A and B are shown apart, each in its own frame.
Chain A
């Protein structure tokens, strides 16, 4: 039997991040370092929505990286988050995905916790008939579930394990904050969840979210119906050392569509819809904004595609697998016809969406091929040049390069400076 070979050692040859070692997607050691440095480090991670836990005792479970966590609302209405792992012997305490509970009790030995994760009581603390029991110096307050700092903005709740993470709004940056303000100015209503499990590294999807280049090529439905086309007026805005990215497209008509796309195999000029209402949208923004894909490092997304509204969360499961959760919403005060338009546009997004179904397939064949060669080789990222500045167009891979620059800074990765060497 051939012993399993470790991934090729990563070599980052260029400070312009036009070359990315593919091993970063398949090396188990990198994955473990990410858990400590990114997910347990100075980042804000999506936990849930205030709208999901409106009442005292309400809770939802989630993951920060691979760590199971609970977001709950206490009797006083305040929200709390804690690691879902019993302080006694490590069992999962909360076993439902969501719900309402007066207390959280581990089924194994019935250690019982309040909404904040504080230990309320343990069985047989004083023993039974003089036998057993905990030592006199047992202090319940020393056995709370591990807590997370939490902050919420516009009803979206984030948590961090690090005391040194900057305040949430500062971490987000003004352009991310501005888009939260635009899209979450009205009370929201969660309409449902969609989940898909993808055999690929979580960063492949994060790259995909920042990749303006693939939108009209891989997703051929786009180029026909103009939900997103590379030649559209658009912008890429970057925050937090380029780790966050806001992609925006504007306008509806594009005169140049035919000439831009006729040489691309996925362009299908003959295809007409019998029921075009699935792609017809109503304007919601005075500046003509048609779509936003906001990716907040590490794994949170806020997206508006035409009139379809949703959050997404990428949950890394292992170096080779991630879960993608789509949390769709509409506005609580939506008119019924607008609500129906958003419902129909639900056919565009999610695991089976006309605009999105190809992503999983593309990432799975990328991951499989990278893994088969143990991560040898480099990705080539030079669309739109070699710079790092945000752009007023979409024919660019700048957000991918800035993502990797920010990633290396955070992970403490040494990058070689061969930028001016022979290409």
Chain B
């Protein structure tokens, strides 16, 4: 498929929409299924990117680590009760590396507390590597680069 193929772009947009939807709908167990088995997912705040430091907030290097996060959030950790909403836009395909598409997108993530107040929790960029996997596009890497390098309270759900 060509880099500028509108069908490819539409499929990448759709993958992003699935990503936002499963997290916004609190179907957390579906989140790892959008990744390949050997995936990497990490959150790399803008401050550390600018300093040339690795300094991740979270760093997972297999689908198993993503599933562990899901189980821990569901069964073990205690965190704020809230609703989330992700707006993902400016999706673009930036390049190709063999069978892998290199893509980017911008995001905004809002939190709404149990009294109905909404606040911006994080804004930033996704830097992705995407592969065809059994007829579906899947992330083999999603790097989240939050401009918001100051976390309001704590970080629980994936950005």
Contact of A275 among B65, B79, B152 (CB under 8 A): B65
Best-surrounded residue of B59, B61, B151, B155 (most CB of chain A within 10 A) = B151
Q: In the assembled complex, how far is the CB of residue B61 from the closest CB belonging to chain A, in whole angstroms? A: 8
Chain A residues near B65 (CB, 8 Å)? Answer: 274-275, 278, 347
Number of A-B residue pairs, CB cutoff 8 Å, is 119
Other A-B pairs, 18, CB within 8 Å; known A193-B48, A196-B153, A350-B57? A97-B47, A191-B54, A192-B48, A192-B53, A193-B51, A195-B45, A195-B47, A197-B150, A198-B153, A268-B76, A274-B65, A278-B65, A347-B60, A351-B154, A351-B155, A352-B151, A357-B79, A361-B153
- B89 contacts partner chain A, Cβ-Cβ < 8 Å: no
Q: Is the CB of A360 within 8 A of B60?
A: no
User: Nearest 8 A-B pairs (CB), nearest first?
Assistant: A192-B55, A352-B155, A274-B64, A351-B151, A360-B154, A196-B151, A192-B48, A275-B64
Task: A343 to B44: give the CA distance in the assembly, Å.
Answer: 12
Is A273 on the interface with B (CB-CB < 8 A)? yes
Enumerate chain A residues within 8 angstroms of B154, measured Cβ to Cβ: 196, 351-352, 357-361
Given contacts A221-B76, A274-B67, contact A191 B55 (CB under 8 A): yes
Q: Looking at the complex, which one of B48, B59, B71 makes contact with A344 (CB distance below 8 Å)?
A: B59
Residue of B nearest to A325 (CB): B150
Contacts of A194 in B (CB 8 A): 45, 55, 57, 151
Q: Which residues of B contact A221 (CB under 8 A)?
A: 72, 76-77
A323 beta carbon closer than 8 Å to chain B: yes
B1 at the interface (CB under 8 A from A): no
A196 CB contact (under 8 Å) in B55, B59, B78, B150? B150
Question: B75 in the interface, Cβ–Cβ < 8 Å?
Answer: yes
In angstroms, Cα B156 to Cα A364, docked, is 15
**Residues 222-262 of chain A, each 1 if its beta carbon lies under 8 Å from chain B, else 0:** 00100000000000000000000000000000000000000
Q: Mark A167-211 against chain B: 1 for CB-CB distance below 8 A, else 0.
A: 000000000000000000000001111111111000000000000
Report how far A98 CA is from B53 CA in the complex, Å: 14
Residues of A within 8 A of B152 (CB): 196-197
* Residue A159 interfacial (CB < 8 Å): no
Known: A221-B76, A351-B154. A343 touches B53 (CB 8 A): no
Q: B58 an interface residue at 8 Å Cβ cutoff?
A: yes
* Nearest CB of A to B16, in Å: 22
Q: Is A138 an interface residue (CB 8 A)?
A: no
Contact of B58 among A193, A199, A347, A360 (CB under 8 A): A347
Are A191 and B53 in contact (CB-based, < 8 A)?
A: yes
Minimum C-beta distance from A276 to chain B (A)? 9
A157 within 8 A of B: no
Q: A275 to B53, alpha carbons, bound, how many Å?
A: 25
B48:A354 contact, CB within 8 angstroms: no
Contacts of B155 in A (CB 8 A): 196, 350-352, 357
Residue on B with the closest CB to A192?
Answer: B55
CA of A360 to CA of B153, assembled, Å: 6
Q: List 12 A-B contacts (CB under 8 A).
A: A195-B150, A199-B153, A220-B77, A274-B67, A275-B64, A347-B59, A347-B60, A347-B65, A357-B79, A357-B155, A358-B78, A361-B79
Encoded as 1 (CB less than 8 Å from any A CB) or 0, chain B from 76 to 101 comes to: 11111000000000000000000000
A315 to chain B, nearest CB (A): 11
- Within the complex, the shortest CB–CB distance from B80 to chain A, in Å, comes to 6
Interchain CA distance A350-B59 in the complex, whole Å? 12
- A242 to B68 Cα, complex, angstroms: 39
Contact with B53, one of A193, A224, A271 (Cβ below 8 angstroms): A193
In the complex, A218 has a CB within 8 A of chain B: yes
* B110: interface (CB < 8 Å): no
Q: Contact between A346 and B68 (Cβ–Cβ < 8 Å)?
A: no
Given that A197-B151, A275-B68 are known contacts, is A358 also in contact with B79, CB under 8 Å in the complex?
Answer: yes
Chain B residues lying within 8 Å of A343, measured Cβ to Cβ, are: 54, 56, 59
Residues 115-136 of B, flagged 1 when their CB comes within 8 A of A and 0 if not, give: 0000000000000000000000
Point out the residues of chain B lying under 8 angstroms from A220, CB to CB: 76-78
Is A84 an interface position by the 8 A CB rule?
A: no
A360 to B43, CA, bound (A): 19
Are A195 and B76 neighbours in the complex by a CB distance under 8 Å? no
B residues near A357, Cβ cutoff 8 Å: 77, 79, 154-156
A60 to B152, CA, bound (A): 23
The residue in chain A whose Cβ has the minimal distance to the Cβ of B81 is: A361
Q: Known A351-B155, A352-B155; judge A323-B56 contact (CB<8 A).
A: no
- The residue of chain A having its C-beta at the shortest distance from the C-beta of B55 within the complex is A192
List residues of chain B with CB within 8 A of the CB of A328. Answer: 55
Chain A, range 323-366, C-beta contacts under 8 Å to B: 323, 328, 343-344, 346-347, 350-352, 354, 357-361, 364
Contact B153 A271 (CB under 8 A): no
B24 to chain A, nearest CB (A): 18
By a CB distance below 8 angstroms, the chain B residues around A198 are 153
In angstroms, Cα B72 to Cα A275, docked, is 12
Q: Give B11 Cβ to nearest chain A Cβ, in Å.
A: 29
Tell me the complex Cα distance, A198–B150, Å: 10
| Contact in complex: A192, B76 (CB < 8 Å) | no
A127 to B65 alpha-carbon distance, docked (Å): 67
Q: Is B62 an interface residue (CB 8 A)?
A: yes
Closest Cβ of chain A to B78, distance in Å, is: 5
